[in-house]
Amino acid sequence: FAPWNDPKAKPYIQFDGVTKRFGDFTAVNSLSLTIFEREFFALLGASGCGKSTLLRMLAGFEEPTAGRILLDGQDLRGIPPYRRPVNMMFQSYALFPHMTVENNIAFGLKQEGMPKLDIEKRVADMLKLVKLEQFAKRKPHQLSGGQRQRVALARSVAKRPKVLLLDEPLGALDKKLREETQFELMDLQQELGLTFVVVTHDQEEAMTMADRIAIMDKGEVMQVATPAEVYEAPTSRFVAHFVGNVNMFEGKVAERTDKTTRITGATGAQIVVENGAAATGADIIFAVRPEKIRVSSKKPADAVNALEGEVYDIAYLGDMTVYHVRLDDGQIVRASALNAARVTEDPLTWNDRAWVSFRPDAGVVLAR
Ligand code: ATP
C-alpha cells in the first residue's frame, strides 16, 4: 500500500494553498498536502503548530482564510460539517454521561433518522467491532478509560464516514494502554477501509500507526514521508531533531569528490561523509542517529570517522544501552547499542576514554 509512489493514484484529500488567519496571527500558512484514500495519515507537530486547525478546517468547523480543501475532487468550501463525509473524534471523547454505551453509539444514527431496526443492527456491529458487546448497557462512568475511548471510536464510525479525523485520540490513556490501542486503531482502520487522519504531538504514536506523517512547524509542513523516511532521511534540521534522537556534527565542507564530502569541524576535527550535495565552503550538519554510532575503548582500525572523548554516562534500558560520550571538543554524542548485539563490545564504564566512530553513510547532510 503506497499510493503516494504511484503517479496514477488519485488524490483523495487535498489541501491546496490553505491559509488560516485568526486576526493577524497566521495559524496555517499557504499549506499544500495530499492524502490518499485508505491512508492512515498523521499530522505531527508541537503544540500550536496548527495541526488541529488543519483538521478542524477539513471537518468544516473552520473555513480557510485562503486556499481550497478538496475531498474526492469536490471543493468543501461552504459545506457544513454534518454534510461532509467526515467525522471527528475528540480527545475528550465527549460521551453523553447519562446515556448507555449503546445509546451513545446510536445517537448520531437516530438524529439522522435511520430506521430503528437498522440502528440496532449497526450498533450491534459497532459493539462487536470494538469488542464491547458485554458493555452495551453500561454508562460511561462504569467503564475504564480505554473502554470509553472505544465507545467514542464506535460512535464516530457508526455513521460510516469516509474519513475519520482523530485529534489526539489516545491522549487520555496511560502509556501501556496507549500502545495497545495504537495497534487496535490500525486494525480497525484496515477492517473498515476508511481514511484516517490523526493529529498528535507524540512522534512514537505517529511512527507506530501512520502510513505517512506530515511534520508541521509554525503552520507549515516541513516534510511528508513514511515513518522510515522521516527517521532515516530527514530533509531539515528541524525534522531530524523532532523525530527520534540525533547527533549533529557541525562543520564546513572542506573538499568534495564524486562520492564523499570532507567536513572540518570548528576545532579542526575532520569527518568524511557520503550523501552530501553541499558546495565547498558551505556550513552544514551531518546528522547521525545514535544506533549508527559505535563506542569503543580503542580506535577501531577500520574506522573512517573516529572522534575521541570520555564516557559521560551509560544508561541500561533493557533492550539497549545508551552511551553519552563527551568529545574532546565538548560535544556530547549519544550512541545506542542493542544489548543482544553488544556481547562482544568493550566493558566501558563511566569516565573511561572512548572513541565514537561511524561510517560515511551513517547519516545525512543538512543545511545549518
Ligand atoms: P495543540 O496540540 O496545542 O492543540 P495545534 O498544533 O493543534 O496545538 P492549533 O490548535 O491548530 O495548534 O492552533 C494553532 C495556533 O492558532 C495556536 O497558536 C492557537 O493559539 C491559534 N488559534 C487556534 N484557534 C484559534 C482561534 N479560534 N482564535 C485565535 N487563535 C487561534
**Distance from residue 26's CA to the centre of ligand 1 (Å):** 10
Strands (DSSP E) contained in the chain are 13-22, 25-35, 40-45, 66-71, 74-75, 86-89, 163-167, 195-200, 212-217, 220-225, 247-256, 261-264, 270-273, 283-288, 294-296, 305-316, 320-327, 332-338, 353-358, 363-367
**Pairing status of strand 195-200 against strand 40-45:** parallel
Q: How far is the CA of 141 from the centre of ligand 1 (A)?
A: 30
**Pocket residue to mutate for ligand 1, from 53, 166, 168, 205, most atoms within 8 A of Cβ:** 53
Q: How far apart are CA 72 and CA 10, in angstroms?
A: 8
- CA nearest ligand 1 atom 9, residue: 50
| pTM listed for this prediction | 0.90
Instruction: List all residues 6 or more positions away from 156 whose beta carbon is below 8 Å from its beta carbon.
Output: 87, 88, 89, 164
CATH topology classification for 245-367: OB fold (Dihydrolipoamide Acetyltransferase, E2P) (2.40.50)
**For the domain 3-241, what is the CATH superfamily, name and number?**
P-loop containing nucleotide triphosphate hydrolases (3.40.50.300)
Residue 189 host element (H or E)? helix 175-192
Best probe residue, ligand 1, of 15, 26, 31, 51 (max atoms within 8 Å of C-beta): 51
Question: For the chain, which residues make up each domain, given as ranges?
Answer: 3-241, 245-367
Q: What whole-number distance in Å separates Cα of residue 336 and Cα of residue 88?
A: 39
- The tens-digit pLDDT sequence of the chain (368 residues) is 899 999 899 999 999 999 999 999 999 999 999 999 999 999 999 999 999 999 999 999 999 999 999 999 999 999 999 899 999 987 666 789 999 999 999 999 999 899 999 999 999 999 998 889 999 999 999 998 888 988 999 999 998 899 999 998 887 778 888 888 899 899 989 999 999 999 999 999 999 999 999 999 999 999 999 999 999 999 999 999 999 999 999 999 998 888 888 999 877 788 899 877 788 889 999 999 999 999 999 999 888 899 999 999 999 898 999 999 999 989 999 999 988 876 556 678 899 999 999 999 999 999 98
| pLDDT computed for residue 368 by the predictor | 86
Distance (Å, rounded) from C-alpha 79 to C-alpha 306?
60
Ligand 1 interacting residues, C-beta cut-off 6 A:
22, 25, 27, 45, 47-53, 201
Q: Which three cell numbers stand for residue 167?
A: 485529534
**CA–CA separation, 360 and 3 (whole Å):** 32
The number of angstroms, rounded, from the C-alpha of 211 to the middle of its chain's C-alpha atoms is: 10
Kindly give the distance from the C-alpha atom of residue 104 to the centroid of ligand 1, in angstroms, as a whole number. Answer: 29
* 326, 291 Cβ separation under 8 angstroms: no
d(CA 239, ligand 1 centre) in Å: 21
Count of beta carbons in the 10 Å neighbourhood of residue 140: 18
SS3 string of 277-298? CCCCCCEEEEEECHHHCEEECC
